[in-house]
């Protein structure tokens, strides 16, 4: 959906055409869901969060004044809703000890990953990502998967630029460490089957 089309639909919704909101939902539902899954770590909860996000967006559409992209505004609602949801459910935060991974080890990890079947690799990477703390995981997701700019991430998370950069850097290193540790069992399973 282009920005112009989006504006047209938003104007229609503001004038009372509720049906126009279905186009907005269809355009952004998976994007919002993706972020919600990263924060909540649970598909069912993520879907509820996604539903709540769109309902809140509909009810507060009048407050969207076009200062930022609509997607960024929606993301902000999704992120806050997801955080509220995990606070309610009091999810246990996993902590991961950081160890340095060298450039050489990074290359090894890449090569080993390429040896694994695509589907299994995807599931494995997703499982590794889920082991990160919610805030770092969601920043990684927004930055690399949804390709939000740093400025947009700052708007969504309400964190300072230095905090986001530090979290991003730590999250990258942790993820690499987690993937490295997850590779051995995955490779054993892969070569074991051959």
Partner 1 sequence: MGENKHIEELDSFTKKLVKQIEPLEVSTAFTVKVMQQIQAKQQAMLLKNEPLISKKMWFIIAVVTGFVLFIPYFFESKKIIDLSQFKFSLLETLKLDDLNFTIGISTITFYAIVFFGLMLSIQIVYLKNYFTKNMY
Interactions with partner 1, residue window 100-119 (CB under 8 A): 102-103, 106, 109-110, 113, 118-119
Say whether residue 129 binds partner 1 (CB under 8 A): yes
Our CB check for partner 1 shows the closer of 90 and 104 to be 104
Contact between 159 and partner 1 by CB under 8 A: the answer reads: no
Among 14, 115, 117, 145, binds partner 1 (CB under 8 A): 145
Smaller CB separation from partner 1, 67 or 86 = 86
Q: Using alpha carbons only, what angle is made at residue 69 by residues 65 and 72, rounded to the nearest 5 degrees?
A: 105
When binding is defined by CB under 8 A, the residue of 17, 26, 117, 189 that contacts partner 1 is 26
Angle value at C-alpha 56, between 53 and 59, nearest 5 degrees: 150
- Calculate Rg over the CA atoms of the chain: 19
**DSSP characters over the chain:** --HHHHHHHHHHHHTT-GGGHHHHHHHHHHHHHHHHHHHHS-HHHHHHHHHHHHHHHHHTGGG--SSS-HHHHHHHHHHHHHHHHHHHHTPPPP--------HHHHHHHHHHHHTS-HHHHHHHHHHHHTTS-HHHHHHHIIIIIS---HHHHHHHH---HHHHHHHHHHHHHHHHHHHHHHHHHHHHHHHHH-
**132 counts as binding partner 1 under rule CB under 8 A:** no
Binder to partner 1 among 1, 6, 29, 69 (CB under 8 A)? 29
Least Cβ distance, residue 193 to partner 1 (angstroms): 20
Candidates 5, 7, 11, 22; binder of partner 1 (CB under 8 A) is 22
Residues 37-56 that bind partner 1 (CB under 8 A): 37, 47, 50-51, 54-55
* 176 interacts with partner 1 by CB under 8 A: yes
Query: What is the distance, to the nearest Å, from the Cα of residue 164 to the centroid of all Cα atoms in its chain?
Result: 14
CA distance 163 to 94: 19
Q: Is 139 in the site for partner 1 (CB under 8 A)?
A: no
Catalog residues that contact partner 1 under the rule CB under 8 A. Answer: 18-19, 21-22, 25-26, 29-30, 33-34, 37, 47, 50-51, 54-55, 58-59, 102-103, 106, 109-110, 113, 118-119, 121-123, 125-126, 129, 140-141, 144-145, 169, 172-173, 175-176, 179
């Amino acid at each position: 959906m282009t920005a112009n089309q989006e504006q047209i639909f938003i104007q229609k919704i503001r004038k009372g055409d509720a049906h126009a909101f279905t186009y907005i939902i269809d355009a952004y539902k998976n994007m919002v869901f993706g972020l919600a899954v990263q924060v909540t770590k649970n598909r069912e909860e993520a879907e509820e969060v996604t539903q709540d996000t769109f309902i809140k967006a509909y009810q507060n559409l009048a407050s969207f004044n076009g200062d930022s992209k609509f997607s960024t505004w929606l993301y902000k609602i999704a992120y806050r809703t997801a955080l509220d949801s995990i606070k309610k459910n009091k999810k246990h935060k996993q902590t991961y000890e950081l160890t340095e991974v060298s450039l050489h080890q990074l290359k090894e990890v890449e090569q080993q990953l390429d040896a694994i079947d695509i589907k299994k690799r995807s599931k494995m990477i997703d499982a590794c990502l889920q082991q990160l703390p919610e805030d770092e995981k969601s920043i990684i997701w927004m930055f690399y998967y949804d390709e939000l700019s740093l400025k947009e991430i700052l708007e969504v998370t309400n964190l300072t630029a230095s905090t986001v950069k530090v979290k991003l850097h730590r999250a990258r290193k942790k993820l690499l460490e987690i993937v490295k540790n997850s590779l051995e069992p995955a490779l054993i399973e892969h070569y074991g089957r051959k």
